[in-house]
């Protein structure tokens, strides 16, 4: 079956530091890949997506590239802000499927 593995947290960074959150997946065919963000006390928001190999999703300074050869979709941001403190979830939707499979989530704390 499908699965998503993302780096364990929590991650604590200073403001303006570079962020990488690793995500790898296992799926048959060509899944669609997503990053979601959950701010404290809120539901999940779609951050970015990529639907085919070599696609780069980007939003709010975050970006991730769909790497078929390494089955990865790592999240990056060049300069984090305190307002980026949240839990980040990597997820996939298998080919021909409407269901999402989520990673365990990575809690990011950014300190001034």
Partner 1 sequence: SAVISQKPSRDICQRGTSLTIQCQVDSQVTMMFWYRQQPGQSLTLIATANQGSEATYESGFVIDKFPISRPNLTFSTLTVSNMSPEDSSIYLCSVSEEGGSGQPQHFGDGTRLSIL
Task: List the interface residues with partner 1, window 6-35 (CB under 8 A).
Answer: 31-32, 34
Annotate each residue in 49-68 with x if it binds partner 1 (CB under 8 A) or - if it does not, as one string.
x-x-----------------
Q: Cβ closer to partner 1: 19 or 33?
A: 33
Which range in 15-23, 58-66, 73-81, 91-99 contacts partner 1 by CB under 8 A?
A: 91-99
Peptide bond into 10 cis (omega under 30): yes
Residue 73 in contact with partner 1, rule: CB under 8 A: no
| Terminal-residue alpha carbon distance, the chain | 41
Q: Which residues of 64-81 are buried (b: 16+ CB within 10 A; e: fewer)?
A: bbbbeeebbbbbebeebe
State both tokens at 36. 């979601």
Residue 1 in contact with partner 1, rule: CB under 8 A: no
């Amino acid at each position: 079956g499908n699965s998503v593995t993302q780096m364990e947290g929590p991650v604590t960074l200073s403001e303006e530091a570079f962020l990488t959150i690793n995500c790898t997946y296992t799926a048959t065919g060509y899944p669609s890949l997503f990053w979601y963000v959950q701010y404290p006390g809120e539901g999940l928001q779609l951050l970015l997506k990529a639907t085919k190999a070599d696609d780069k999703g980007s939003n709010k300074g975050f970006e991730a590239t769909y790497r078929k050869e390494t089955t990865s979709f790592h999240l990056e941001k060049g300069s984090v802000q305190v307002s980026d403190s949240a839990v980040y979830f990597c997820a996939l939707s298998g080919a021909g499927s409407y269901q999402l499979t989520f990673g365990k989530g990575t809690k990011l704390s950014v300190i001034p």
